[in-house]
Amino acid sequence: MGRTRGWIVGMCFVACLLAVAAGPAGAQGKPEDSVVVYSAADADMVNAVVAAFEKKYPAIKVSTVVAGTGEIIKRIEAEKERPLGDVGWSFGPEAIGDKKGLFEPYLSKESGGFFPGQVPADRVWTPFTTMPYVIMYNKKLVSEAEKPKAWKDVLDPKWKGKVAYADASKSGSSYTLLVTWLSIYGKNDAGWKFVEDLLRQCKVLPKSSMTYQGVANGEYPIGLTFEQAAFDYLKGGAPIGLIYPSEGTAITLDGSAIIKNAPHPNAARLFLDFTVSKEMQDLMVNRFGRRSVRKDVGSPAGLPALDQIKALLKRFQDALIKTQ
């Protein structure tokens, strides 16, 4: 009996070691019956993914809070002693900065399908889609001859007060644009002068959505935003054009992360894995015009290949996060 008991104890010890060695990706148990998702994605995208998730997993109820990236991070930080959310989905990982302690490292079971180099070494966040940044313009208000071809062209006095741009303290995409300009023109007096001059041209708005909606509706001739937002209106028939500035532009990843001490951690991991499954990544490309992080999913029809866009340095994403 003593040997048998010792053998059982020994095997339990080995099993525990294997569970620890498996790391966050292997720590997923039975999903809870609900999950709370904080997202910076457009409401249409959130609704589509949530509906698909609940159809596939009818035993799990999804609750959502949709807000800007900055607001999401502030909310998670305010709730850190007693988290109410489970997963932050589709937000700018640059906003994490020194807030990594708010999140639980996790390696998605879908990560083997990602392009190489997209998962950060610390696994604090998981890539969701790839996003170039663009100048968006309304073709009824801006002729092909006068459209800006570079970021610096937006400084033309004729555009003063006519350029839509979201507040970078509230919008992850606008923060990325700010770092883009500093990366091009220098993180020095000259670079900040360019930023200040550009902001004087802009109508600074409280939400990212007001930028692309305003340009599509003809409220503003020009908007500074991310590709997918503009492309969505182009596909819908709006008189929209996209410009990839000649100085170069950011091509970044947005991502997702499991909130530390989440009340529904297993359901959170299941939801995160679902968003980067081939099924959902196909949806992102074909319905929403986003570029996938998966090797087995193509690019959106009607958009240039990434290698045709002048991009900033490959390590831009690291520089973006360190700037925070």
**pLDDT at residue 50, as a whole number:** 98
Q: Please give the Cα distance from 258 to 196 (Å, whole number).
A: 36
- Count Cβ atoms within 10 A of the Cβ of residue 235 and give its class: 0-12 exposed, 13-18 middle, 19 or more buried: middle
Residues 226/132, Cβ–Cβ less than 8 Å: yes
CATH number of 6-130+254-303: 3.40.190.10
What is the per-residue pLDDT for 316?
52
Mean pLDDT of the residues in the chain: 87
Band of residue 140 on the pLDDT scale cut at 50, 70, 90: very high
The domain segmentation of the chain, as residue ranges, is 6-130+254-303, 131-251
Residue whose pair of structure tokens reads 């083997």 in the numeric block: 112
Q: Across-strand partners of 133?
A: 226
CA atoms of 80 and 82, how far apart (whole Å):
5
pLDDT in tens, 183-203: 999 989 999 999 999 999 999
DSSP 292-323: ESBTTS-PPTTS--GGGS-B--TTHHHHHHHH
- CATH domain 131-251 topology: D-Maltodextrin-Binding Protein; domain 2 (3.40.190)
Q: Please give the pLDDT value at position 7.
A: 39
Quick: pLDDT tens for 264-319.
999 999 999 999 999 999 999 999 888 999 999 988 888 888 778 888 854 455 54
Helix (H) or strand (E) holding 253: strand 251-259
pLDDT at 17 exceeding the cut of 50:
no
Q: Give the residue, 109 or 29, on which the prediction is more confident.
A: 109
* pLDDT given for residue 131 in this prediction: 87
Separation CA 243–CA 254 (nearest Å) = 21
Give residue 260's pLDDT band: very low, low, confident or very high (50, 70, 90). Answer: very high
Query: So what's the pLDDT on residue 116?
Result: 84
Please, what is the Cα angle at 121 between 117 and 122, to 5 degrees? 145
Per-residue pLDDT at 200 = 96
Query: Residue 83 pLDDT > 80, yes or no?
Result: yes
Say what the pTM is.
0.69
Asked if domains 6-130+254-303 and 131-251 share a fold, the reply is yes
